[in-house]
């Protein structure tokens, strides 16, 4: 997961979730190569045919890769946020629909009779009402458990990605 604020000016230097981790090793190797070239030119009076246009082309290509990678990271971040919000929104809708439509007094949702429970025993009506309350409580409880399991799953995925898949 990407752990940075979109509004931060230092977003390019963040280690987790950015591309700095991907660029450190290749950039270091290239820096060593450039230092070796400079040393060879200054020490042995060699002239390596490095033109300014070659450096500009290489810099433009690296900048393109940098922008492409940041765009890809941000797109995955935004898509992940929208999917997470969708999961929790759907869970909330499921609880709301279940608790709204679950009635315990023997009344059916599509029954047009205003008082269908006249012929039922009051004890039976009370039992149905208590069972409906218990069902609503279980629905909310299980939905909260599902949401917490999803959050724990995301934390484990984040930990696995941060340690490159090596779990202790």
Q: Which residues of 27-61 are buried (b: 16+ CB within 10 A; e: fewer)?
A: eeeeeeeeeeeeeeeeeeeeeeeeeeeeeeeeeee
Query: Which of 21, 11, 22 lies closest to 74, judged by CA?
Result: 11
Read off the pLDDT of residues 2-34 as tens digits, 9 standing for 90 and up.
455 556 666 566 655 556 777 788 888 988 988
Read off the pLDDT of residues 59-77 as tens digits, 9 standing for 90 and up.
888 888 888 878 887 888 8
Read off the pLDDT of residues 75-119 as tens digits, 9 standing for 90 and up.
888 898 999 999 999 999 999 999 888 876 655 444 444 555 566
117 neighbors 106 (Cβ within 8 angstroms): yes
* pTM for the structure as a whole: 0.55
141: pLDDT confidence band, cut at 50, 70 and 90?
Answer: very high
What whole-number distance in Å separates Cα of residue 167 and Cα of residue 128? 49
pLDDT higher than threshold 90 for residue 146: yes
The per-residue pLDDT for 67 is 83
What whole-number distance in Å separates Cα of residue 12 and Cα of residue 150? 29
Per the prediction, the chain carries an average pLDDT of: 79
């Amino acid at each position: 997961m990407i752990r940075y604020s979109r509004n931060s000016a230092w977003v390019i230097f963040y280690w987790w979730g950015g591309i700095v981790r991907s660029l450190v090793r290749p950039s270091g190797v290239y820096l060593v190569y450039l230092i070796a070239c400079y040393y060879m030119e200054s020490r042995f009076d060699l002239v390596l045919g490095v033109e300014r246009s070659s450096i500009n082309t290489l810099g433009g290509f690296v900048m393109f890769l940098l922008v492409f990678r940041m765009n890809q990271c941000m797109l995955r971040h935004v898509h992940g946020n929208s999917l997470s919000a969708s999961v929790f929104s759907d869970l909330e809708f499921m609880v709301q629909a279940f608790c709204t439509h679950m009635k315990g007094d023997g009344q059916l949702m599509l029954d047009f009779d205003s008082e269908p429970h006249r012929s039922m025993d009051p004890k039976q009506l009370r039992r149905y009402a208590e069972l409906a309350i218990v069902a609503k409580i279980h629905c909310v409880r299980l939905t909260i458990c599902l949401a917490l399991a999803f959050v724990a799953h995301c934390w484990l995925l984040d930990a696995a990605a941060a340690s490159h898949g090596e779990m202790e």
